[in-house]
Amino acid sequence: MTDRAAADGAAELRKQIAQTRSQLGSTVEELAAKTDLRGRAKARAADLRDRAGAMTVQLRSTAAQAGHTVQEKAKGAGHTVQEKASHAGHTVQERAAHAGHTAQEKAAHAKHTSRSRVEDTRHQLKDRGAHLATGVQDKASRAERGVPAPLRAPVGYARRHPRPVVIVAAAGAVIVAAGVLGRRRASRC
């Protein structure tokens, strides 16, 4: 009876290990997808910076062109008209500069906001990873107590070094998926 109980325990342990590996694989996929947010946030911030810079250059260029046009037309109209045109040119330049500063401030704010969100997401992922690692270690510890003596060393190693276990689990998942897809294709033919 003890051999049968040990076999049942080992089968149950294998089942739990398989479930844990599956959960870890899902978690790794989720974490990988979430870390992509950081790249997207950086790209968005860079895009906003580029837009703000381009808008500033365009506004300054437009303001300079408007100022030159106004000055050329004002030469023929006399001193009074020339003063008014010069004043209008300065006003346009000030407004363009103000608009450029506003665009730069908005871009800087967007950059800060995106960095803050990236940091928040990174901390959340780190906390979740630590929580999952603790759960896995707890499960492994509980499972290790019920493991027969000859298997304790490999189970202990897997508990202390989870990365190779996750890699093996991911490789196993890929092999199983490939097998399922192969069977589906074979059954369709």
Average pLDDT, the chain: 79
Residue 83 tokens read as 């003063």
Model confidence at 90: pLDDT above 70: yes
Model confidence at 116: pLDDT above 80: yes
Q: How far is CA 47 from CA 50, 53, 108, 126, in A?
A: 5, 10, 12, 27
Nearest to 139 by CA among 28, 27, 24: 24
Q: What is the per-residue pLDDT for 76?
A: 60
pTM of the model: 0.28
Across the range 165-188, mean pLDDT stands at 86
Separation of alpha carbons 115 and 104, rounded Å: 16
Separation of alpha carbons 24 and 39, rounded Å: 23
